[in-house]
Structure 1
Amino acid sequence: MQLGSEANSFASKIGHNLAPFGDYSLYHVVRRNGEVVPFDASRIAVAITKAYIGVHGHNSMSSVGVRDQVSQLTNMVVHALQSRKPAGGGIHLEEIQDQVELALMRSGEHEVARSYILYREERRHERELEGVKQPEQKINVNYKDGSSKELNIKYIYGVIQAACEGLLEVNSKIILDEALKNLYDGVSEDEVFKSVILAARQLIENEPAYNFVTARLLLHSIRHEVIGREVSQLEMTEVYRSYFPEYVKKGIEAELLDPRLAEFDLSVLAAALEAKRDYQFKYLGLQTLYDRYFIHIRGRRIELPQIFFMRVAMGLAINEVEREKRAIEFYKLLSSFDFMSSTPTLFNSGTLHSQLSSCYLSTVSDDLIGIYDAIKENAQLSKFAGGLGNDWTPIRSLGAHIKGTNGKSQGVIPFLKVVNDTCVAVNQGGKRKGAACVYLESWHADIEEFMDLRKNTGDDRRRCHDINTANWIPDLFMKRVHEQGEWSLFSPNEVADLHDKYGKEFEEAYLKYEQLGAEGKLRVYKKIPALQLWRKMLTMLFETGHPWVTFKDPCNIRSPQQHTGVVHSSNLCTEITLNTNANEIAVCNLGSVNLVNHLTDKGLDLDKLKRTIATAMRMLDNVIDINFYPVVKARNSNLKHRPVGLGFMGFQDALHMLRIPYSSNEAVDFADKSMEAIAYYAYMASTDLAVERGRYSSYEGSLWSKGILPLDSLKLLADARGSQYIEVDTSATLDWDALRQKIQEQGMRNSNCLAIAPTATISNIIGVSACIEPTYQNIFVKSNLSGEFTVVNEYLVRDLKQRSLWDEVMLSDIKYFDGSLARIERIPADLRELYATAFEMDPSWLVEAASRRQKWIDQAQSLNLYVAQASGRKLDELYRLAWIRGLKTTYYLRTLGATSAEKSTGRGGELNAVSADGSAGQFSSRVNVDTAAPATDAKFCSIDNPDCESCQ
């Protein structure tokens, strides 16, 4: 906005209307450069006049009403300044301008105020650009339309400055200088901003605030792509309102969005979009959304962050009576990062293919048609972004008799090879690779060869490098291990009922079949020491990361739905425990609460947590009715039982905020109390939904209907297993008696409510630690499908800054020790304890915390275990402890080699980058080492694998 003669003239005419300011000589104005000048009220009138001209044009100056309004506003500013300093003195120029903004806003002149704010921003940028010069070497930029123009360095710097707004720790000039180093004559327009983004990104490890700067620079590019022009943050509220209806129309015409979205009152929804929430993102989160979640037409994105969240919310509210009200409620929950739906829901909600569920569990029947039907169903489910869990226990073993041909079976392994290749061939909607986990019970005669599936040696026709495997272990086997007894293996076609039995009934049937085997009445029968098989399980787990260790009996004995069937397996990430059979494919819909956003200085904000969970459970329940089911078996099962899996993320962040080390009794206690609260409000929300919408159809006969809640079911497990084999804390703090009575009176809307999923991707989106994971390293490079990203522990940096310990040397030391603080002596002991990494803590703490959570959860949790310098004894003790503590499942075992790598003599080794090991689908931790020293290898779970990111 330029100062015209009209503004000066107008201001001079109203000067006589200004109220007396007292003795002007008592006041002076301090300019930005420190210069002191006399106070002149007419300059305020000039500034306000310019703002009016900017909005209403020059003709508005002829209006008497406008003159009076400017006079009144000027007087308001003058009196406000006088009241702040009645005795006179210096008034800073910024203080005067702040009072002008306030006066305009308080008088209702919002458009004029906006114009004035924009003017201040423009002038600020102009001042900062005064010292910026064009590079000595001429750089021409090539544009998509074929034109070429000289690089406008001041424009680039202005964009960088806007991204740094409000972040005191960052320096826009450094970003500019770094970006210019990578530009050259003839560079493309896209490359210019990529260079700026990369320049900011490389500074994140030195100062975490650059994370937000980098995200804002990326946001600038996304807005340009979507809107087709430059858009500032100040404009975004209006841009969102005008573009949102256009987006819906465009998406429907491109056959990407559900036409029913046009039936919403789009103006109401557009008005609810909060542009300021775009600035919540860190770089990894926004880049992930851009790469894989935002809808695009022929490669060009048509979604912006808040529109993306509203599209998801509309899709989830599409069947609601008060659609707009519920859509806004869901939008506010998602966009605030208080709760996040799982990846399939984010991918597909509001689209023509609304496959919103995360997990599918199936049982494969022992006949050729059943086997290939299951493989076909896997392909159909995987196509629409579903993770798979298959129960293959019913398939007869190698050497078993085939009655139809009078031949011998090749066993389960060859079919798993087909499952493996199907997963590779049919990926998840073209957005991530297909992912499946196959389960086999420990009495199956093919169990030993099953455990070899992920080995890199042997006959490759009997190896599966792309699917996951898991042992489904009965309690009887664990008892035999403890007792150092014998274990018998059978072919399922001869002991068919073992598959559907658990607890004491399983033990009775198993003993009967052992007797028949000993008498030679079974075609396939083998006896081996239980401890020998257990050791092979742990050896293969250490060597290949598979099969995972999961426990059949606690999953069934504590299942609320034991009256309707049997839990035959878990899912891809071991947190779902639902019934399956030949006619039902279990389905689970996932979402996670952000624990960080529900913490106060005093601990958990229970009132907010209750509100969040009530809305989240409604969203998850809606998924069941909205969902597109690729196979009928899945639809029938989901509508009948209506299970959901509410989890949470940010547990490690919460501990940092509360100043609690992960390896402590206080952390175990927080795990207990936080999970109790989440469980309490989730079960309450489900029973409230039952009042509004009705109970799920198979409710009668469930543990819920009998007044047996998950905490109560621990007694059932102790009775079935024997009290000597279970040690679990059963304390509680909330009023469970009242909730138990409420459930028996009102019923439940959902057969299952809770499951802690890995949250690998959605925790990246909102910028918190994944689910219940401890800190892997305090600084490392994370790889996923969107690239490599520096991850630095912001809480640690904050604490080191407060103690004046954060500098280049400290950063170099932390890198040198691979993100560990243990050997950096100048870091105080309390910080080294608080920020101990996963491999520095005793893994039993992870089990203890998981045990406290498991007592409240009606399903399970994805629990990774970290073991430094693993040995057979350590693993044996750890997994026995997991069983004794009542855990239902475990997930990946992450290990480090027994020898520590010696560093090269050069201090400040390269950042420990995480790179993929393609053959095993795992990861290795690479460090600089002397040639004589071995590298330290770490086996990582697939939630960090860029080829997987399976569940969330």
Structure 2
Amino acid sequence: MQTVSSSTAAAQPAPRTGTAQAGAAVSAYQGYQIIRRNGAVVSFEPNKIAVALMKAFLAVHGTQGAASASVRETVDGLTESVVRALLRSRPGGGTFHIEDVQDHVELGLMRGGHHEVARAYVLYRERRSQERAKQGVPAVAVEPSLMVTDRGQRVPLDMARLTTLVESACADLGADVKPDPILAETKRNLYDGVPIDEVHKAAILAARTLIEKDPGYTRATARLLLHTIRKEIIGEELLHAEMHTRYADYFPGFIKKGVQAELLDEKLMQYDLVKLGAALKADRDLQFDYLGLQTLYDRYFLHIEETRIEMPQAFYMRVAMGLALNEIDREARAIEFYEVLSTFDFMSSTPTLFNAGTQRSQLSSCYLTTVADDLDGIYEALKENALLSKFAGGLGNDWTNVRALGSHIKGTNGKSQGVVPFLKVVNDTAVAVNQGGKRKGAVCAYLESWHLDIEEFLELRKNTGDDRRRTHDMNTA
């Protein structure tokens, strides 16, 4: 008796006759491979499963059984079921270890009720295993070549490159930051046919879970995130060492793309983009920890239809260019601004980081207004709140001038409802109009302590009472 020496998975066993049919079968099995005990990877040959099964039956029933039509039909049926079971575990193609195939053969024999043949097959495998051990043949531990999906094509995962990526992320971070735990956890979270982008995300998540064990992993996680950002923006898998020349090549194209997408001010095209691109320092990407870089990616980097177009150093240079637009020597001033921003010696306010260099360069953080005591003034203040919040401005409104509850209204000969109903509208406006689409709107209402509505004003943030007179999303002072 012989065990299966090489096989793989397919929906049906290979046809035995017909050149066209055989060619179609080979084509159907091209996505499958087998890893042998010596580590060699061989192509799919489904007939070897049938040969191994036939030899198993011969070992039990003798050579006369080979002439039996029922035995041949049984072998064909078992081969088909084994191959189908293998296929279900790798529906889009992949690799199997030889031991996995033999396990499926055992299972197929037992499910088919051929217990005597199955027992002999198991004993034969055990005997061969002992013979290999006596001969000193080392068992080669070979990991299956995981198939990944890259640009719609199924390709083997390049474990060497993944290992290099993780090792470079951990380089120079101390002896306690090791790549092995990241690689091990990443492999555990992968599956056959996983998109290549998900492989990189798995590495980031694996590294992130280790931050609580050693803070040094926050830098390693940030470097892995940098790799995914580079791939998303540049379209290539680049290691950090390759970015020293690529930043200068990328930067002019980034500015042009941003202007064409109507995200950046056309005046940025008047800069010497080659000179500014040459001033970018790729090594400063390594200063980020994970949380800082993830925040920049989520909220600050420019994107077109959710695809980022802005690299970290390009982000700081874009802000610097926006600040230097009206300077005499713009390139020199922009580089000076870039130097202090990219080294974290100085950091501009959030609206400046959001909007500098864009078509609407609203750079201020906060706006304070006084609301007039008439409907035109009140709703003009609401409109201003919405427009300022739209471009990332924080808001403070003084409502002291607005008359209190029960005050006489000459124009209608009625009584005022006070400031609280209007503050409810202010609260809901801040919720509806967020800051540049990147964070919640921020507004604070002010009222002097002598105002007759001060008691109700102080209850605006309470969780009890009439919810129509509560403002849970707005600050008061």
Both structures adopt the same fold (TM-score exceeding 0.5): yes
User: 1:360, 1:372 → 2: CA distance?
Assistant: 16
Residues 724-764 of structure 1, C-alpha deviations (whole Å, 9 max, x = no match): xxxxxxxxxxxxxxxxxxxxxxxxxxxxxxxxxxxxxxxxx
User: 1:188, 1:224 → 2: CA distance?
Assistant: 14
Shift of 1:150: 2.2
Q: Does 1:403 align with 2:426?
A: no
Residues 385-404 of structure 1, C-alpha deviations (whole Å, 9 max, x = no match): 10100000111111111122
User: 2:239, 2:256 → 1: CA distance?
Assistant: 24
Partner of 1:852: none
Aligned letter for 2:207?
Answer: A
Residues 138 and 185 of structure 1 are in contact (CA less than 8 Å); yes or no, is this contact kept in structure 2? no
Partner of 2:393: 386
Q: Does 1:159 align with 2:165?
A: yes
Aligned letter for 2:406?
Answer: G
Question: SS in structure 2 opposite 1:441?
Answer: coil
User: 1:412, 1:434 → 2: CA distance?
Assistant: 20
Residues 164-199 of structure 1, C-alpha deviations (whole Å, 9 max, x = no match): 111222111111001111111121211111110011
Residues 398 and 410 of structure 1 are in contact (CA less than 8 Å); yes or no, is this contact kept in structure 2? yes
Partner of 1:212: 219
User: 1:420, 1:134 → 2: CA distance?
Assistant: 63
Residues 176 and 196 of structure 1 are in contact (CA less than 8 Å); yes or no, is this contact kept in structure 2? yes
Residues 419-476 of structure 1, C-alpha deviations (whole Å, 9 max, x = no match): 1111111111111121100011111111111111111111111111111111xxxxxx
Q: Does 1:443 align with 2:444?
A: no
After superposing the two structures, state which structure 1 stretch, 181-190 or 354-363, moved more: 181-190
Q: 1:436 to 1:134 in 2, by over 3 A?
A: farther
User: 2:267, 2:417 → 1: CA distance?
Assistant: 51
Aligned letter for 2:170?
Answer: C
Question: SS in structure 1 opposite 2:447?
Answer: strand
Question: SS in structure 2 opposite 1:339?
Answer: coil
Q: Does 1:305 align with 2:305?
A: no
Residues 258 and 352 of structure 1 are in contact (CA less than 8 Å); yes or no, is this contact kept in structure 2? yes
May I ask how many residue pairs the two structures share in their alignment? 337
2:370 to 344, 363, 367: 363
User: 1:399, 1:256 → 2: CA distance?
Assistant: 49
Shift of 1:230: 1.7
User: 1:410, 1:172 → 2: CA distance?
Assistant: 65
Q: Does 1:349 align with 2:356?
A: yes
Residues 140 and 151 of structure 1 are in contact (CA less than 8 Å); yes or no, is this contact kept in structure 2? yes
Partner of 1:142: 149
Partner of 1:201: 208
User: 2:450, 2:221 → 1: CA distance?
Assistant: 54
Aligned letter for 1:284?
Answer: L
Q: Does 1:275 align with 2:278?
A: no
Alignment of 1:273-672 (within 5 A): 273-470=280-477
User: 2:322, 2:381 → 1: CA distance?
Assistant: 30
- Specify every segment of 5 or more residues in structure 1 that has no aligned partner in the other structure, as ranges: 1-132, 471-952
Question: SS in structure 2 opposite 1:389?
Answer: strand
Partner of 2:186: 179
Q: 1:259 to 1:153 in 2, by over 3 A?
A: same
Runs ≥4 residues deviating over 6 A: none
Question: SS in structure 2 opposite 1:340?
Answer: coil
User: 1:420, 1:137 → 2: CA distance?
Assistant: 57
- Specify every segment of 5 or more residues in structure 2 that has no aligned partner in the other structure, as ranges: 1-139
User: 1:151, 1:322 → 2: CA distance?
Assistant: 50
Residues 799-820 of structure 1, C-alpha deviations (whole Å, 9 max, x = no match): xxxxxxxxxxxxxxxxxxxxxx
Shift of 1:314: 0.3
Residues 479-502 of structure 1, C-alpha deviations (whole Å, 9 max, x = no match): xxxxxxxxxxxxxxxxxxxxxxxx
Partner of 1:188: 195
Residues 244 and 307 of structure 1 are in contact (CA less than 8 Å); yes or no, is this contact kept in structure 2? yes
User: 2:142, 2:205 → 1: CA distance?
Assistant: 19
Alignment of 1:598-747 (within 5 A): none
Partner of 1:520: none
RMSD across aligned C-alpha pairs, in angstroms? Answer: 1.3
User: 1:153, 1:237 → 2: CA distance?
Assistant: 25
Aligned letter for 2:171?
Answer: E
TM-score normalised according to structure 1 size: 0.35
Partner of 1:860: none
Q: 1:135 to 1:304 in 2, by over 3 A?
A: farther
User: 2:292, 2:315 → 1: CA distance?
Assistant: 13
Aligned letter for 1:348?
Answer: N
Question: SS in structure 2 opposite 1:341?
Answer: coil
**Higher-helix-fraction structure:** 2
Q: 1:244 to 1:134 in 2, by over 3 A?
A: farther
Partner of 1:787: none
Q: 1:413 to 1:134 in 2, by over 3 A?
A: farther
Partner of 2:25: none
Question: SS in structure 2 opposite 1:371?
Answer: helix
Shift of 1:139: 2.6
Aligned letter for 1:270?
Answer: G
Partner of 1:702: none
Shift of 1:134: 8.6
User: 2:189, 2:354 → 1: CA distance?
Assistant: 35
User: 1:427, 1:234 → 2: CA distance?
Assistant: 39
Partner of 1:221: 228
Q: 1:429 to 1:397 in 2, by over 3 A?
A: same
User: 1:399, 1:246 → 2: CA distance?
Assistant: 62
Partner of 2:55: none
Q: Does 1:230 align with 2:237?
A: yes
TM-score normalised according to structure 2 size: 0.69
Partner of 2:88: none
Question: SS in structure 1 opposite 2:369?
Answer: strand
Residues 224 and 230 of structure 1 are in contact (CA less than 8 Å); yes or no, is this contact kept in structure 2? yes
Question: SS in structure 1 opposite 2:385?
Answer: helix
Question: SS in structure 2 opposite 1:167?
Answer: coil
Aligned letter for 2:377?
Answer: G
Residues 868-914 of structure 1, C-alpha deviations (whole Å, 9 max, x = no match): xxxxxxxxxxxxxxxxxxxxxxxxxxxxxxxxxxxxxxxxxxxxxxx
2:263 to 256, 259, 264: 256
Aligned letter for 1:375?
Answer: L
After superposing the two structures, state which structure 1 stretch, 215-224 or 266-275, moved more: 266-275
Partner of 1:762: none
Q: 1:146 to 1:135 in 2, by over 3 A?
A: farther
Residues 141 and 148 of structure 1 are in contact (CA less than 8 Å); yes or no, is this contact kept in structure 2? yes
User: 1:258, 1:442 → 2: CA distance?
Assistant: 45
Residues 43-65 of structure 1, C-alpha deviations (whole Å, 9 max, x = no match): xxxxxxxxxxxxxxxxxxxxxxx
User: 1:402, 1:248 → 2: CA distance?
Assistant: 56
Shift of 1:152: 2.0
User: 1:265, 1:138 → 2: CA distance?
Assistant: 48
Larger relative contact order, structure 1 or 2 (CA cutoff 8 Å, min sep 6) = 1
Question: SS in structure 2 opposite 1:361?
Answer: strand
Residues 497-542 of structure 1, C-alpha deviations (whole Å, 9 max, x = no match): xxxxxxxxxxxxxxxxxxxxxxxxxxxxxxxxxxxxxxxxxxxxxx
Residues 399 and 411 of structure 1 are in contact (CA less than 8 Å); yes or no, is this contact kept in structure 2? yes
Give percent identity, aligned residues only.
66
Question: SS in structure 2 opposite 1:382?
Answer: helix
Aligned letter for 1:390?
Answer: N
User: 2:142, 2:377 → 1: CA distance?
Assistant: 70
Shift of 1:138: 4.8
Residues 134 and 153 of structure 1 are in contact (CA less than 8 Å); yes or no, is this contact kept in structure 2? no
